[in-house]
């Protein structure tokens, strides 16, 4: 079994795109390339524009126009480009008749689109959107499974100058409305249901409630995924691509990079999920470097990521079209009908890059699968793992039971940047349990509480920060007119740095280890969830006075633990204990229906009191520290620090 830091793989590929880029930049290796990219951002991003196949008008002037602060920097301020045009242009390299998208559903249904068919479908969708009055700046929302129609809707919207936003169909009405109501979408694209774990989940019945709470929606296009009739709504509703026709080619709108193209949602700990407005052009530039240089994606490759449309990795996967790769979509459970389901797809579709989660690799290990001996993985060159830290055992599983000669890249970033801060490198060695290094163009570091670098203290945990700007920094948060929430989220703690909210440490090899969240945002199964979303639903139950949720490190991942202070104080006088079955079931049912299955806690505990700050805010971080046996930070700021004793040595949290 591999130990932490054990060398598992050494690249011998001097022809990788990263190695070629080093030669173009005139540097000896990727470590020097990273240093050069940070020290000379104008030269680096100009090289990215030229060599990574960006389609657009570069314009004159510097690649990076400096502002007063990091968030005021502007990338290619005189350039114009269109994200959709760049993705569709990827078909020029492998050829218009080859597959652009392959889609597999868990019940075995397979479909595909050639590059020519993808362009034609996008043009037809645009014609319908224009008939509904959609134009520049309008928002189109998709409550959709991971299927080709979602990609088409996104390309069509951005090509018209609109803004696209999406979430997955397992979100309930409250979860959908909490997100989409912040951007006032004029069009909703929705599936009438989805397939998961062998069951059909009907969403048509909920669609009327969603539309009723989104008064800005003018029309709805419904995709039939479950063979159900068209629902009756208060606004016009049409069957997707039923009678649609295009009068011309795809429309594209080249705009400045600082133009909104996407809205993503990253849950915070207060209020509704953060509504993050991204530049599609900035996201394109950042992800091109990640795909081509860090992951060695080339024209004709086949890239697959297990994701939903509510996670930024969906955007990351779709952007691979711009590099000429075929994207392989999957919708369903990764373990249905058995633990080899995703490995079956990797083999059948001859996937070259397989993106997954640390949890999936760990589950494959525990299930005893050995895909390297049971499947044809000869095309597979790269596995990327994200969502939570990949253990040394997970690394060992890949190199022992999958393939000894592929590139395993543990990566980490977030919705906040729609990309990665730390990522793989096909030219550097892979050590068990470590991420190989920082992403090009990002001045990543780990600092202590004073903001002092820990680069010379390997193994010491600190806060993951970035000292430089990068093209995919958010444009703004919706509803944050003065920018105060944006500044507070990333810049207030360490002036002049982006603070990401992750615990991290450097390694002896110049790599990094991510140890989990340092803020109160939950990261369960790789999906960031705001505690406020949970509290809003749970505290509507008459039996619940208030609640506090933490993420507990468990079995190589993170699980949600919910502490409930009941309205009947007699229920909690004996100290923390599991909630009675009826109350626990009520809580789980409500969260599953109104939020999503990912919001459902693994453990629900009754407790007599909850700690809070002197300003009355629940002290989630303090409880998480106690549960994990860590030193509690800033006990002086707590009004009732003695309550923390209730959370020490809870036997039910060791199960």
Task: Please tell me which residue, 387 or 489, carries the higher pLDDT value.
Answer: 489
Confidence of residue 303 (pLDDT cuts 50, 70, 90): very high
Q: Dihedrals φ, ψ of 369, to 5°?
A: -75, 145
> Rounded to an integer, what distance in angstroms lies between the CA atom of residue 332 and that of residue 329?
10
Q: Three-class SS of residue 653?
A: helix
Above 60 in pLDDT, residue 344? yes
The long-range contacts involving 457-460, CB below 8 angstroms and separated by at least 24 positions, are: 457/506, 458/505, 458/506, 458/507, 458/508, 459/505, 459/506, 459/507, 459/508, 460/505, 460/506
Above 80 in pLDDT, residue 311? yes
Above 80 in pLDDT, residue 521? no
Above 80 in pLDDT, residue 532? no
Q: What is the DSSP letter of 470?
A: -
Q: What is the DSSP letter of 373?
A: H
Region 144-157 average pLDDT: 98
Confidence of residue 95 (pLDDT cuts 50, 70, 90): confident
> Rounded to an integer, what distance in angstroms lies between the CA atom of residue 646 and that of residue 332?
40
Give me the residues paired with residue 303 across strands. Answer: 327, 353
Helix and strand element counts for the chain (H, E) = 18, 37
Confidence of residue 270 (pLDDT cuts 50, 70, 90): low
Q: For residue 62, how many other CB atoms are within 10 A of its CB? A: 15
The 3-class secondary structure across 185-196, one letter per residue, is: CCEEEEECEEEE
Q: What is the pLDDT of residue 154?
A: 98
Largest Cα separation within the chain, whole Å, is 72
Confidence of residue 271 (pLDDT cuts 50, 70, 90): low
Confidence of residue 615 (pLDDT cuts 50, 70, 90): low
Region 600-614 average pLDDT: 87
Q: What is the pLDDT of residue 639?
A: 73
Q: What is the pLDDT of residue 526?
A: 66
Above 80 in pLDDT, residue 268? no
What tens digit of pLDDT does each residue of 367-384 get? 999 999 999 999 999 999
The pair of three-digit structure tokens given for residue 417, joined into one six-digit string: 């940047």
| Distance from chain centroid for Cα 364 | 22
Q: Three-class SS of residue 466?
A: strand
What tens digit of pLDDT does each residue of 160-174 get? 999 999 999 998 999
Q: What is the DSSP letter of 290?
A: I
Q: Three-class SS of residue 81?
A: strand
The pair of three-digit structure tokens given for residue 362, joined into one six-digit string: 């760990």
Residue with tokens 């240093």, as numbered in its chain: 35
* 79 close to 58: Cβ distance less than 8 angstroms: yes
Q: What is the pLDDT of residue 495?
A: 93
| Dihedral (Cα; 429, 431, 434, 436), 10-degree rounding | 0
Q: What is the pLDDT of residue 267?
A: 66
Task: Please tell me which residue, 610 or 295, carries the higher pLDDT value.
Answer: 295
User: Measuring CA to CA, which residue among 528, 419, 474 is closest to residue 276?
Assistant: 474
Q: What is the pLDDT of residue 147?
A: 98
Task: Please tell me which residue, 374 or 231, carries the higher pLDDT value.
Answer: 374
* 260 close to 276: Cβ distance less than 8 angstroms: no
Calculate the alpha carbon distances from 594 to 6, 172, 182 in Å: 45, 4, 17
Q: What is the DSSP letter of 611?
A: -
Above 60 in pLDDT, residue 641? yes
Can you say whether residue 220 is alpha, beta or left, with left for phi > 0 and alpha for psi between -120 and 50 degrees?
beta
Q: What is the DSSP letter of 453?
A: B
Can you say whether residue 254 is alpha, beta or left, with left for phi > 0 and alpha for psi between -120 and 50 degrees?
beta
Strands 139-143 and 187-191, how do they pair? parallel
> Rounded to an integer, what distance in angstroms lies between the CA atom of residue 522 and that of residue 508?
29
Q: What is the pLDDT of residue 486?
A: 95
Looking at every residue in the chain, the average pLDDT score rounds to 92
In DSSP notation, 218-278 reads -EEEEE-SS--PPPP-SS-EEETTSS---SSS-----EETTSEEEEEEE--SSSSPEEEEE
Above 80 in pLDDT, residue 528? no
Q: Which range (10-14, 103-107, 298-302) has the least confidence? A: 10-14
Task: Please tell me which residue, 327 or 611, carries the higher pLDDT value.
Answer: 327
Q: What is the DSSP letter of 649?
A: S
> Rounded to an integer, what distance in angstroms lies between the CA atom of residue 622 and that of residue 225?
45
Q: What is the DSSP letter of 388?
A: S
Out of 84-93, 289-298, 622-631, the most confident range is 289-298
User: Measuring CA to CA, which residue among 524, 567, 530, 563 is closest to residue 547?
Assistant: 563
Region 166-193 average pLDDT: 95
Confidence of residue 12 (pLDDT cuts 50, 70, 90): confident
Confidence of residue 402 (pLDDT cuts 50, 70, 90): very high
Helices (H), 298-353: 312-319, 341-348
What tens digit of pLDDT does each residue of 61-71 get? 999 999 999 99
Confidence of residue 292 (pLDDT cuts 50, 70, 90): very high
Query: Radius of gyration over alpha carbons of the chain, in Å?
Result: 24
Calculate the alpha carbon distances from 504 to 213, 384, 434, 464, 513 in Å: 41, 19, 11, 6, 5
Q: Which domains, from first to last, does the chain contain?
A: 530-654 (3.30.300.30)
Above 90 in pLDDT, residue 539? no
Confidence of residue 522 (pLDDT cuts 50, 70, 90): confident
The pair of three-digit structure tokens given for residue 104, joined into one six-digit string: 């597999």
Q: What value, to the nearest 5°, has the Cα angle with vertex 651 and ends 647 and 655? A: 120
């Amino acid at each position: 079994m591999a130990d932490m830091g054990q060398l598992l793989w050494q690249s011998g590929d001097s022809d990788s795109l990263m190695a070629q880029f080093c030669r173009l930049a005139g540097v000896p290796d990727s470590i020097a390339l990273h240093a050069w990219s940070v020290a000379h951002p104008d030269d680096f991003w100009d090289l990215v524009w030229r060599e990574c196949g960006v389609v657009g008008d570069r314009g004159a002037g510097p690649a990076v126009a400096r502002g007063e602060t990091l968030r005021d920097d502007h990338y290619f301020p005189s350039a114009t480009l269109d994200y959709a045009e760049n993705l569709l242009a990827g078909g020029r390299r492998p050829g218009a008749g080859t597959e652009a998208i392959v889609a597999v559903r868990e019940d075995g249904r397979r479909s595909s689109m050639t590059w020519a068919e993808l362009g034609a479908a996008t043009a037809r969708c645009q014609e319908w959107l224009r008939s509904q009055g959609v134009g520049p700046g309008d928002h189109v929302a998709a409550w959709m499974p991971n299927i080709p129609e979602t990609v088409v809707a996104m390309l069509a919207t951005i090509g018209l100058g609109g803004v696209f936003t999406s979430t997955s169909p397992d979100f309930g009405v409250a979860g959908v409305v909490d997100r989409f109501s912040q951007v006032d979408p004029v069009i909703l694209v929705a599936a009438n249901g989805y397939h998961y774990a062998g069951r059909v989940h009907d969403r048509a019945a909920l669609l009327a409630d969603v539309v009723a709470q989104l008064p800005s929606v003018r029309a709805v296009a419904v995709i039939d995924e479950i063979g159900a009739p068209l629902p009756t709504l208060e606004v016009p509703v049409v069957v997707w691509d039923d009678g649609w026709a295009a009068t011309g080619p795809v429309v594209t709108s080249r705009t400045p990079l600082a133009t909104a193209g996407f809205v993503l949602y990253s849950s915070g700990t207060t209020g509704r999920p953060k509504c993050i407005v991204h530049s599609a052009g900035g996201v394109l530039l950042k992800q091109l470097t990640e795909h081509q240089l860090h992951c060695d994606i080339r024209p004709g490759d086949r890239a697959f990521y297990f994701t939903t449309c509510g996670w930024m990795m969906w955007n990351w996967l779709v952007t691979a079209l711009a590099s000429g790769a075929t994207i392989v979509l999957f919708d369903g459970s990764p373990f249905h009908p058995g633990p080899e389901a995703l490995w079956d797809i990797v083999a059948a579709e001859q996937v070259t890059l397989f993106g997954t989660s640390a949890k999936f690799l760990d589950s494959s290990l525990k299930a005893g699968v050995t895909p390297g001996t049971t499947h044809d993985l000869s095309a597979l060159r790269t596995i990327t793992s994200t969502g939570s830290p990949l253990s040394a055992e997970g690394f060992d599983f890949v190199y022992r039971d999958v393939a000894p000669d592929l590139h395993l890249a543990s990566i980490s970033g977030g919705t906040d940047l729609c990309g990665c801060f730390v990522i793989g490198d096909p030219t550097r060695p892979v050590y068990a349990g470590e991420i190989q290094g920082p992403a090009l163009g990002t001045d990543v570091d780990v600092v202590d509480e004073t903001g002092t670098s820990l680069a010379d203290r390997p193994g010491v945990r600190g806060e993951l920060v970035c000292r430089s700007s990068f093209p995919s920094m958010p444009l703004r948060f919706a509803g944050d007119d003065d920018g105060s929430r944006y500044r507070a989220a990333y810049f207030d703690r360490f002036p002049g740095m982006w603070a990401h909210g992750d615990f991290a440490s450097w390694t002896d090899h110049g790599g990094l280890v991510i140890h989990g969240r340092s803020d109160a945002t939950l990261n369960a199964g790789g999906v960031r969830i705001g505690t406020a979303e949970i509290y809003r639903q749970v505290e509507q139950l008459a039996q619940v006075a208030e609640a506090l949720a933490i993420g507990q490190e468990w079995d190589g991942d993170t699980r949600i633990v919910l502490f409930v202070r009941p309205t009947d104080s007699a229920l909690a006088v004996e100290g923390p204990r599991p909630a009675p079955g009826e109350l626990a079931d009520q809580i789980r049912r409500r969260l599953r229906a109104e939020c999503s299955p990912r919001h459902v806690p693994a453990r629900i505990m009754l407790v007599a009191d909850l700690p809070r700050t002197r300003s009355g805010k629940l002290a989630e971080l303090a409880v998480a520290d106690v549960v994990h046996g860590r030193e509690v930070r800033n006990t002086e700021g707590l009004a009732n620090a003695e309550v923390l004793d209730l959370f020490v040595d809870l036997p039910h949290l060791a199960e």
